[in-house]
């Protein structure tokens, strides 16, 4: 009955009845303007024919299609610990979903740090690095709470491109602000400190040895090129970790809200390819470690890595690597093998102490021959030299073995000999410091197309580093970004094996959908590496 009809039937209307009918009319108008009666009528008619077992679940799914797009309500952060027991930052993304606030997804990212070896005393440099990491994490937590969360409130988490643009602009503004502050402090320090002129020493008369041309015993040193000093460390802006972890957390949130895997979501926001195929990066599995942390004299082979061609699936490569490690351990346990103690490295591979690099490579070759594995054709080797950790700056040489030091030019000859003797080596990772550009170029010209050079440190290139011709493209992110190789380490450790298991699952999903692309190992073009 309408309000006017109600007035005609009753001579007196109480104030409460009048308010009730006014509210009823407003509610009816509100529902009509939003199309609620039509939608309810439609779903009820549909349910008559479908007769679902879960009536309310059917209704919930039906009305979910008309709900508003989820938006970010806030981003929270907390300090956690990563797989190595070091402090890291966790970002949690909260969204308004169907008129309720929910924590959808989170991501964890560790700060910059150098690998710490067990059994070594903590040095002053390690303490400083730990303090720097703690500053980075705590500053990132402040950025998330004070700046990024308010900035992204109400933002659509599926709009990754514009979100990353906002984060990039925020980081650049902070970087310029920090740079200006540092320049101001340096200028103030220079104005306050006036250096005094050093006292002049009396001239020393030249000795007969100096007049004759110096010490003959040092004649050989005159032909050796002086060592290029190390570039100053790349300055890191404390708090920059927040940008990466928030971007990753929002990407994971979007993939969960859309209902697709993360790699599918990342692929969709990239530049569209001509083909609809998705290419998995080739796994680089560390099978042997003979670096500085091993108990032998050899320092050069920090990681011996197994590579496979595109003909093998990820599961096959993992099985081959496990069989290869078991066979190497059997050989090492034999009486005829001369090697140091055998253990497990921090990267999850066999760690063996050797005297020379040939011993380690001979071990891998013998194990492959025993198992009849096609080393050199379907299976290849990559060597992570980590040469930047071997430089003795007091002598200007690389300590490739305890008591054996090589100049940068001599190291080129050593690599050339190893590649000639072991043609299955198809990649060298960080064979020199980034400052030894001349040696990078010389080694690239010597080895030609038989082996590629990979710079794992090229993710933060300095000008000289980026202009060097032999350096390939550096480190990028994960599946969906077109990376050629994926370096996860050895086949030990729960966190590492979770990643390998996920890689196998993705390969199976793509194969079932018919969109798994096949890649060939091409040594001519530089390749991107994900680690």
| Strands of the sheet with 71-81, listed across from one edge | 71-81, 87-97, 100-110
Flag whether 467 is in a domain. yes
Cβ neighbours of residue 54 closer than 8 Å, sequence gap 6 or more: none
pLDDT in tens, 422-479: 999 999 999 999 889 899 999 999 887 788 888 865 444 333 333 333 333 222 274 6
Assigned domain for 76 exists: yes
| pLDDT score, position 205 | 52
Q: 412 and 446 in contact (C-beta within 8 Å)? A: yes
Torsion of CA 442, 530, 387, 343, to 10 degrees: -140
- Report percent pLDDT > 70 for the chain: 79
The structural domain count of the chain equals 3
Looking at per-residue pLDDT, the higher value among 234 and 501 belongs to: 501
Whole-angstrom CA distances from 268 to 255, 271, 278, 444, 472 are: 11, 8, 11, 36, 26
In a domain, 237, yes or no: no
Q: Do 284 and 419 belong to one domain?
A: yes
CA distances from 223 to 204, 440, 525 (A): 28, 20, 35
Is residue 27 domain-shared with residue 134, that is, in the same domain?
no
Is residue 186 assigned to a domain?
no
Q: Residue 295's pLDDT band (boundaries 50, 70, 90)?
A: confident
pTM: 0.76
125-153: average pLDDT: 82
Provide mean pLDDT across the span 124-151.
80
Residue 275 pLDDT exceeds 70? no
Helix 160-192, helix 241-258: angle, nearest 10? 170
Nearest CA-CA partner of 306 in 319, 291, 292: 319
Task: Tell whether the model's pLDDT for residue 141 goes beyond 90.
Answer: yes
- Identify the CA nearest to 159 among candidates 33, 28, 27, 69: 69
Cβ burial 486-521 (10 Å sphere, 16+ → b, else e): bbbbbbbbeebbeebeebbebbeebeeeeebeeeeb
Q: Answer whether residue 269 is part of any domain.
A: no
Backbone torsions φ then ψ of 469, nearest 5 degrees: -65, -40
Q: What local confidence, expressed as pLDDT, does residue 260 receive? A: 92
Tens digits of per-residue pLDDT, 196-210?
555 555 555 554 444
Pairwise pLDDT comparison (215 vs 388), residue with the higher score: 388
Same domain, 152 and 299: no
CB 471 within 8 Å of CB 458: yes
pLDDT on residue 482: 65
Please indicate whether residue 481 or residue 137 has the higher confidence score (pLDDT).
Answer: 137
Residues 80 and 61 reside in one and the same domain: no
Return the pLDDT at 185: 83
Same domain, 490 and 366: yes
Q: At what angle do helices 241-258 and 262-269 cross, to 10 degrees?
A: 110
The answer to whether the CB of 73 falls within 8 A of the CB of 96 is: yes
Closest to 151 measured CA to CA, from 136, 163, 142 = 163
Most confident of 80-84, 412-416, 475-479: 412-416
Say which CATH number the domain at 357 has: 3.20.20.120
Q: Are residues 398 and 479 in the same domain?
A: yes
CATH number at residue 82: 3.30.390
Q: How far apart are CA 487 and CA 530, in angstroms?
A: 6
pLDDT in tens, 217-267: 444 444 667 888 887 766 678 888 899 999 999 999 999 999 999 988 988
H or E segment to which residue 19 belongs: helix 15-33
pLDDT of 137 over the 80 cut: yes
| Whole-number average pLDDT of the chain | 81
Given a contact cutoff of 8 angstroms between Cβ atoms, the answer to whether 344 and 322 are in contact is no
Q: Which of 140-154, 228-242, 403-417, 494-508 has the lowest mean pLDDT?
A: 228-242
Are 479 and 282 within 8 A, CB to CB? no
Specify the pairing of strand 485-489 against strand 516-517: unpaired
CA nearest neighbour of 507 among 279, 262, 259:
279
Assess whether 471 and 364 both reside in one domain.
yes
Residues 353 and 338 in one domain: yes
Q: Is residue 477 part of a domain?
A: yes
Can you tell me whether residue 300 is helix, strand or coil?
Answer: coil
Judge if 171 and 58 occupy the same domain.
no
For residue 479, the model assigns a pLDDT of 62
Closest CA to 381 of 472, 319, 288: 288
Contact 491, 322 (CB under 8 A): yes
Q: Are residues 108 and 134 in the same domain?
A: yes
pLDDT value of residue 103: 96
Residue 209: inside a domain, yes or no?
Answer: no
Q: Quick one: pLDDT band at residue 6, thresholds 50, 70, 90?
A: low
pLDDT the model gives residue 266: 87
Q: What residues make up the domain containing 47? A: 22-65
Same domain, 309 and 433: yes
* Percentage of the chain modeled with pLDDT above 90: 42
Please name every residue paired with 517 in a beta bridge, in sequence order, or none if there are none: 279
pLDDT at residue 127 greater than cutoff 60: no
Lowest mean pLDDT among 3-17, 269-283, 499-513: 3-17
pLDDT surpasses 80 at 337 = no
Predicted local confidence at residue 521, as pLDDT: 60
The whole-number pLDDT of residue 481 equals 63
- Identify whether residues 377 and 438 lie together within a single domain: yes
pLDDT in tens, 84-124: 788 899 999 999 999 999 999 999 998 654 433 333 333 33
pLDDT at 242: 93
């Amino acid at each position: 009955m309408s309000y006017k009809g109600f007035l005609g039937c009753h001579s007196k209307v109480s104030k409460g009845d009048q308010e009730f009918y006014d509210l009823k009319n407003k509610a009816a108008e509100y529902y009509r303007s939003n199309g609620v009666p039509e939608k309810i009528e439609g779903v009820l008619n549909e349910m008559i024919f479908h007769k679902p077992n879960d009536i309310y679940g059917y209704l919930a799914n039906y009305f979910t299609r008309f709900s508003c797009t989820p938006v970010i309500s806030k981003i929270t952060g907390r300090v956690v610990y990563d797989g190595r027991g070091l402090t890291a930052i966790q970002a949690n993304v909260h969204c308004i979903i169907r008129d309720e606030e929910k924590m959808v997804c989170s991501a964890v990212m560790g700060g910059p740090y150098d690998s710490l070896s067990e059994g070594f005393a903590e040095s002053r440099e390690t303490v400083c690095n730990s303090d720097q990491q703690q500053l980075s994490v705590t500053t990132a937590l402040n950025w998330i709470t004070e700046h990024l969360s308010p900035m992204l409130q109400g933002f659509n988490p599926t709009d990754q491109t514009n979100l990353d643009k906002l984060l990039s602009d925020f980081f650049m503004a902070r970087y310029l602000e920090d740079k200006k502050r540092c320049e101001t402090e340096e200028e103030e320090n220079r104005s306050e400190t006036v250096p005094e002129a050093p006292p002049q020493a009396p001239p020393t008369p030249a000795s007969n040895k100096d007049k004759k041309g110096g010490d003959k015993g040092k004649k050989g040193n005159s032909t050796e090129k002086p060592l290029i000093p190390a570039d100053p460390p790349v300055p890191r802006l404390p708090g920059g970790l927040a940008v990466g972890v928030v971007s990753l957390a929002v990407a994971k949130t979007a993939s969960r809200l859309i209902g697709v895997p993360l790699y599918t979501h990342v692929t969709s926001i990239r530049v569209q390819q001509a083909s609809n195929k998705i290419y998995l990066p080739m796994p680089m599995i560390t099978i042997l470690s003979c670096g500085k942390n091993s108990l032998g004299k050899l320092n050069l082979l920090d990681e011996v890595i197994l590579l496979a061609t595109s003909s093998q699936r990820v599961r096959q490569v993992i099985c081959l690597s496990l069989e290869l490690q078991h066979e190497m351990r059997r050989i090492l346990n034999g009486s005829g093998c001369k090697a140091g103690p055998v253990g497990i490295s921090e990267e999850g591979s066999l760690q063996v102490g050797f005297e020379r690099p040939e011993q380690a490579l001979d071990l891998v070759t013998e194990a492959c021959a025993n198992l009849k594995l096609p080393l050199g054709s379907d299976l290849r080797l990559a060597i992570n030299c980590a040469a930047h950790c071997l430089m003795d700056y007091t002598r200007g040489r690389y300590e490739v073995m305890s008591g054996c030091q090589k100049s940068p030019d001599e190291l080129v000859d050593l690599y050339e000999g190893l590649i000639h003797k072991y043609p299955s080596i198809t990649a060298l990772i960080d064979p020199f410091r980034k400052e030894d550009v001349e040696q990078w170029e010389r080694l690239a010209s010597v080895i030609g197309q038989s082996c590629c050079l990979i710079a794992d440190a090229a993710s933060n290139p300095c000008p000289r580093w980026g202009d060097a011709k032999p350096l390939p493209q550096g480190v990028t992110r994960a599946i969906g970004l077109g990376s050629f190789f994926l370096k996860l380490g050895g086949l030990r450790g729960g966190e590492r094996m979770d990643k390998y298991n996920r890689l196998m699952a993705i390969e199976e999903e793509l194969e079932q959908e018919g969109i798994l692309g096949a890649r060939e190992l091409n040594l001519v073009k530089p390749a991107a590496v994900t680690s």
